[in-house]
Amino acid sequence: MDARFASTYDPTVDVQPDPELDDDWDQALEALRDRQKWKQQGADRLLAAGFTMDEVRKWEKGGEKTEEDVRWAKKGEGREWDRGKVVEEGGEVELMAEWGRLKGT
Q: What is the pLDDT of residues 9-35, one digit of tens each?
A: 887 777 766 666 556 778 888 999 998
Mean pLDDT throughout 83-87?
79
> How would you classify residue 18: left for phi > 0, otherwise alpha for psi between -120 and 50, otherwise beta?
beta
CA distance to 6, 21, 58, 60, per residue, from 64 (Å): 58, 38, 7, 10
Domain residue ranges in the chain? 12-95
User: How do residues 33-84 score in pLDDT, each as one tens digit?
Assistant: 998 888 778 888 888 899 888 888 888 877 777 787 777 878 877 777 777 7
Question: What's the pLDDT score for residue 101?
Answer: 58
Distances in whole angstroms, Cα of residue 36 to Cα of each of 16, 33, 53, 55, 59? 31, 5, 21, 20, 15
Return the amino acid letter for 69. Answer: D
- Strands 93-95 and 85-87 come out as antiparallel
Question: Residue 94 pLDDT > 70, yes or no?
Answer: yes
